[in-house]
């Protein structure tokens, strides 16, 4: 695949989570819409209220099937607004969708919805995952265990928590202090709860020193994704206000992860968010940009481009503005 390709030109979708189920590629995106809510740093204008599932049997040439609406805010009784980036995991013939949604008091929690097929429809559980918070869940399956990565600062509310507890006065660490970490938790056997207290996903530099909050071109902001390549764990994420997709590598699902570099330079638009997946012997970066919405920063379109590695396992940097 020589050039990046727009996947679904007929609608605005973003934040792709992508998996291969039963030999077919399934995309679980956020569904952007013109909400009329003015843009602000908390992302209130990202007021999405449903999810679609997309699928394809060939990335290079195949057409994209839209399986329609599979979950709506109005069906999630504990929630209020903003269905942001979700992910889906498969276990014992069931498909579990994990999604962030604000509860009735405006606090993001992570909910679960279950389907019998990868294309849904998904039926939500009555309550969110106990002890869950913030946004952008991404699930790694490894030897029958499932690990959920999550978190995001600013509108994602991670700065409202310390030691997994809501604090009185939300605050980010100062510039020279270690940055706020994304979280990881093993899921319970029934996939409906955390089996442990969420742990920090530590991202360190080449000397083993944690990245600082002021290191805005490398520190974590949001958009966790985990994939394995040649037996190593690649944790990738967005730096948010500096608009980079970066990655860090570790030797186990919990880390620590050593910062390696940039995967994707800034795209057109404020947010950048992605999934990395292998399909039919090639690796792909699914992501989004705002080129088709001509200058608006919140209506995003799905894209895919081939991702390549150097012989030492380093990911080759991709230009976000390539056509």
Whether residue 32 contacts residue 16, with contact meaning beta carbons closer than 8 Å, is answered with no
Vertex 77 angle, CA 75 and 81, to 5°: 80
Distance between CA atoms of residues 16 and 27, nearest Å: 6
Up-side HSE of residue 163: CA atoms within 13 Å toward CB? 1
Q: What residues act catalytically?
A: 15, 222
Task: Give backbone dihedrals phi and psi of 150, rounded to 5 degrees, phi first.
Answer: -160, 170
Output the smallest distance, CB 286 to ligand FUB, in A.
13
Measured from each CB, the residue nearest to ligand FUB is 84
Q: Which of 7, 14, 112, 276 binds ligand FUB (CB under 6 A)?
A: 14
Whether residue 21 contacts residue 49, with contact meaning beta carbons closer than 8 Å, is answered with no
186-217 CB burial, b ≥16 within 10 A, e <16? bbeeebebbeeebebbbbbeeeeebbbbebbe
Mark residues 145-184: x for contact with ligand FUB by CB under 6 A, - for none. Answer: -------x--------------------------------
Distance between CA atoms of residues 129 and 60, nearest Å: 37
Output the smallest distance, CB 77 to ligand FUB, in A.
22
- Interface with ligand FUB (CB under 6 A), residue total 14
Nearest to ligand FUB of 84, 234 (CB atom)? 84
Nearest to ligand FUB of 30, 301 (CB atom)? 30
Q: Which of 136, 200, 215, 289 binds ligand FUB (CB under 6 A)?
A: 136
Output the smallest distance, CB 265 to ligand FUB, in A.
16
- Per DSSP, the residues of 241-261 read GG--EEEEEESSTT--EEEEE
Footprint on residues 188-247 left by ligand FUB (CB under 6 A): 222-223
Mark residues 256-295: x for contact with ligand FUB by CB under 6 A, - for none. Answer: ---------------x-x----------------------
Q: Which spans of this chain sit near ligand FUB (rule: CB under 6 A)? A: 14-15, 30, 43, 46, 84-85, 135-136, 152, 222-223, 271, 273
């Amino acid at each position: 695949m020589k050039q990046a390709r727009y996947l679904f030109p007929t609608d605005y979708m973003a934040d792709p989570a992508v998996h291969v189920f039963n030999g077919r590629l399934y995309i679980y995106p956020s569904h952007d819409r013109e909400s009329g809510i003015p843009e602000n740093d908390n992302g209130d204008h990202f007021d999405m209220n449903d999810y679609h599932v997309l699928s394809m049997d060939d990335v290079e040439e195949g057409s994209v099937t839209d399986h329609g609406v599979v979950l709506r805010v109005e069906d999630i009784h504990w929630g209020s607004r903003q269905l942001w980036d979700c992910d889906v995991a498969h276990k014992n013939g069931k498909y579990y969708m994990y999604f962030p949604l604000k509860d009735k008091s405006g606090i993001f929690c992570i909910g679960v919805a279950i389907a019998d097929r990868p294309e849904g429809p998904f039926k939500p559980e009555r309550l969110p995952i106990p002890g869950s918070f913030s946004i952008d869940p991404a699930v790694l399956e490894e030897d029958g265990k499932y690990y959920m990565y999550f978190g995001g600062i600013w509108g994602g509310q991670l700065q409202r928590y310390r030691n997994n507890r809501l604090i009185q006065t939300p605050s980010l660490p100062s510039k020279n202090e270690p940055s706020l970490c994304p979280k990881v938790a093993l899921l319970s056997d029934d996939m409906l709860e955390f089996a442990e207290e969420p742990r920090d996903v530590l991202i360190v530099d080449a000397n083993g020193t944690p990245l600082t909050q002021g290191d805005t071109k490398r520190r974590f902001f949001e958009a966790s994704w985990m994939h394995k390549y040649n037996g190593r764990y690649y944790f990738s994420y967005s730096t948010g206000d500096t608009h980079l997709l970066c990655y860090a590598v570790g030797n186990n699902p919990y880390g620590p992860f050593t910062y390696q570099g940039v995967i994707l330079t800034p795209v057109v638009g404020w947010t950048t968010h992605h999934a990395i997946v292998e399909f039919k012997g090639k690796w792909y970066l699914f992501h989004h940009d705002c080129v088709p919405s001509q200058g608006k920063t919140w209506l995003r379109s799905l894209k895919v481009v081939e991702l390549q590695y150097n012989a030492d396992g380093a990911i080759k940097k991709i230009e976000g503005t390539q056509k």
